[in-house]
Amino acid sequence: MKSIRNFAYAAALTLSALNFAPSLASAQDAAGSFTLTHEVHWQNAVVPAGTYRFVIEPDGPAAMLTLRNLNGGKSFMMLVVDTEDSKPKDTSELVMVPRPTGSFVSTLQLPEFGMTLHFAVPPETHVIARAVASTGTVQTASAAH
């Protein structure tokens, strides 16, 4: 009876240890850090200025990017829209595009991990001005591209 109890205890301990140990897949997750000098929009999140640690988890149907503020602020999780292999000549960089509501992160290039990540960015809008000769007023219209 005592040996069965010891075996059950050893089995439970082993299963617990396996649940808390990092998996081989997570050992291959890309990780690093960067500093944002100003607030940016990253998909639907507004990420304040600060120093962040990132981890890319490639498991599942789409990769996930996790950002943790090293200054004790919020953490963020973003779904990666698309990934592609980076070229060896690429530099590590965070590419942002301007929009009327602020800067949006569009790409995170990580050649040291062999990947480039793409994120959702709202379409650019242009204001088109049309002059109406008869009344002398100007009409404006927004067009998304």
Would you say residue 7 lies in a domain? Answer: no
Residue bearing the bigger pLDDT, 19 or 45: 45
| CA 40 – CA 101 distance, rounded (Å) | 10
Lowest average pLDDT, out of 10-14, 75-79, 90-94, goes to 10-14
| CA 36 – CA 52 distance, rounded (Å) | 8
Would you say residue 15 lies in a domain? Answer: no
Output the pLDDT for position 84. Answer: 92
Would you say residue 46 lies in a domain? Answer: yes
Under a CB-based contact definition with an 8 Å cutoff, are residues 109 and 86 in contact? yes
Would you say residue 60 lies in a domain? Answer: yes
Residue 137 CB neighbour total at 10 angstroms: 9
Would you say residue 5 lies in a domain? Answer: no
Range of the domain at 109: 24-130+138-144
Would you say residue 8 lies in a domain? Answer: no
**Which tokens sit at 133?**
């000769």
Would you say residue 18 lies in a domain? Answer: no
Count up the domains in the chain and report the number. Answer: 1
Section 41-47 average pLDDT: 95
Output the pLDDT for position 56. Answer: 94
Would you say residue 58 lies in a domain? Answer: yes
